[in-house]
């Protein structure tokens, strides 16, 4: 009689599962995009806006937003800024990383059905918004006007340059790009991202806005959206803090009365407006 295979033991949410790097692409001088597949077991199925705790074995883990089509491989775009993120960025295809999650809440893609959608991104903040853009474009007929407004410090800091070019060729999507400081050969707009909001085509009374980037950029982008007439409860921002557990236990990501890993990272602006106005909170 055949002996039944022993069931794989269940693991808790604090145990990283092994994922193999299948693709690695350099985006910027210090930024890479990794595609990951599980080493056995099932795929992770995050919602647009969620994050995972990505683990470099023997070094540590960091929270990284999901940045690809959530129906495909697990995709993360990572900037090398510390020991852990540098190790993750250096992981070649075939290397194994640990993954916990997904954690957090999501961009309100479903709730925005029937509305205009405004996506405002600054710098690497485009990465957490990318799954939401894919989700909206995948069901394009269910939304009104869609605008993608994106900016970076310089042209060489623009993320997903080739993909941005393809998106600009679509007739059902308004894409506007700016940089803080131009370089030789740049013929596009120069200025901060919030300045693009005034010229974007959308109905402020019914629009839903997704905003991600440096906190100061999100603050001024939200103010510009409010000035256009978008209600604060229809503006969503994605926050970033030092998340270490992903479960709301350790308290490292506390922002006022909220824990970002548990209650966020996506918040309505009216929930955070007062907190974001506090300098260096």
Q: Work out the average pLDDT over 91-112.
A: 96
Q: What is the pLDDT of residues 224-265, one digit of tens each?
A: 999 999 999 999 999 987 788 888 888 888 888 899 999 999
Three-class SS of residue 74? strand
Q: Within its chain, how far is the Cα of 205 from the centroid?
A: 25
Instruction: Enter the DSSP assignment of 247.
Output: S
Rounded Cα distance between 65 and 137, Å, is 20
Q: Tell whether 97 and 137 lie within a shared domain.
A: no
- State yes or no: cis peptide before 58, omega within 30 of 0: no
56 and 145 fall within a common domain: no
CATH of residue 46's domain is: 2.40.30.10
Does 154 lie in the same domain as 67? no
Residue range 150-205, pLDDT digits in tens: 999 999 999 999 999 999 999 999 999 999 998 888 888 999 999 999 999 999 99
CA distance 77 to 136: 20
42: DSSP letter? P
pLDDT at 242: 78
Total of domains in the chain: 2
- Report the first-to-last Cα separation within the chain, whole angstroms: 65
What whole-number distance in Å separates Cα of residue 52 and Cα of residue 61?
A: 10
Question: By three-state DSSP, how is residue 178 classified?
Answer: strand
Tell me: pLDDT of 6 over 50: no
Give a yes or no: residue 12 inside a domain: no
Looking at the structure, do residues 134 and 268 belong to the same domain, yes or no? Answer: yes
Instruction: Please indicate, yes or no, if residue 264 is contained in any of the structural domains.
Output: yes
For residue 249, give its domain range: 117-276
Do 36 and 123 share a domain, yes or no?
A: no
> Where does a domain end: 45, 80, 103?
103
The residues pairing with 36 across neighbouring beta strands, listed in sequence order, are: 21, 74
Residue 144 and residue 59 share a domain: no
pLDDT at 10: 58
Q: Report if residue 6 sits inside a domain.
A: no
Whether residue 77 sits in one domain with residue 132: no
244 vs 171: CA distance, rounded Å: 42
Report how many helices (DSSP H) and strands (DSSP E) the chain contains, helices first: 6, 15
Is residue 26 located within the same domain as residue 140? no
125 and 99 within one domain: no
The answer to whether residue 98 sits within a structural domain is yes
Same domain assignment for residues 87 and 204: no
Residues 271 and 132 occupy one common structural domain: yes
């Amino acid at each position: 009689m055949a002996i039944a295979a022993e069931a794989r033991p269940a693991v808790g949410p604090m145990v990283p599962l092994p994922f193999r790097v299948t693709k690695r692409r350099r985006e910027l001088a210090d930024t890479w995009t990794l595609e990951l597949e599980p080493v056995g077991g099932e795929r992770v199925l995050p919602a647009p806006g969620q994050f995972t705790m990505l683990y470099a074995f023997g070094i540590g883990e960091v929270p990284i937003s999901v940045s690809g089509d959530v129906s495909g491989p697990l995709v993360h775009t990572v900037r090398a800024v510390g020991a852990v993120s540098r190790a993750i960025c250096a992981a070649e295809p075939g290397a194994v990383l640990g993954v916990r999650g997904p954690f957090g809440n999501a961009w309100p893609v479903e709730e925005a059905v029937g509305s205009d959608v405004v996506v405002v991104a600054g710098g690497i903040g485009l990465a957490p918004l990318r799954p939401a853009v894919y989700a909206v474009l995948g069901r394009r007929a269910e939304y009104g006007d869609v605008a993608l407004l994106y900016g970076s410090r310089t042209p060489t800091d623009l993320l997903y340059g080739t993909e941005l070019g393809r998106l600009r060729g679509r007739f059902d999507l308004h894409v506007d790009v700016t940089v803080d400081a131009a370089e030789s050969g740049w013929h596009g707009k120069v200025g901060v991202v919030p300045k693009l909001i005034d010229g974007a085509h959308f109905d402020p009374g019914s629009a839903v806005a997704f905003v991600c980037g440096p906190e100061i950029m999100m603050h001024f982008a939200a103010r510009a959206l409010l000035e256009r007439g978008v209600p604060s409860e229809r503006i969503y921002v994605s926050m970033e803090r030092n998340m270490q557990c992903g479960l709301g236990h350790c308290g490292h990501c506390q922002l006022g009365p909220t824990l970002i890993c548990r209650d966020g990272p996506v918040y309505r602006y009216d929930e955070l407006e007062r907190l974001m106005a506090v300098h260096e909170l």
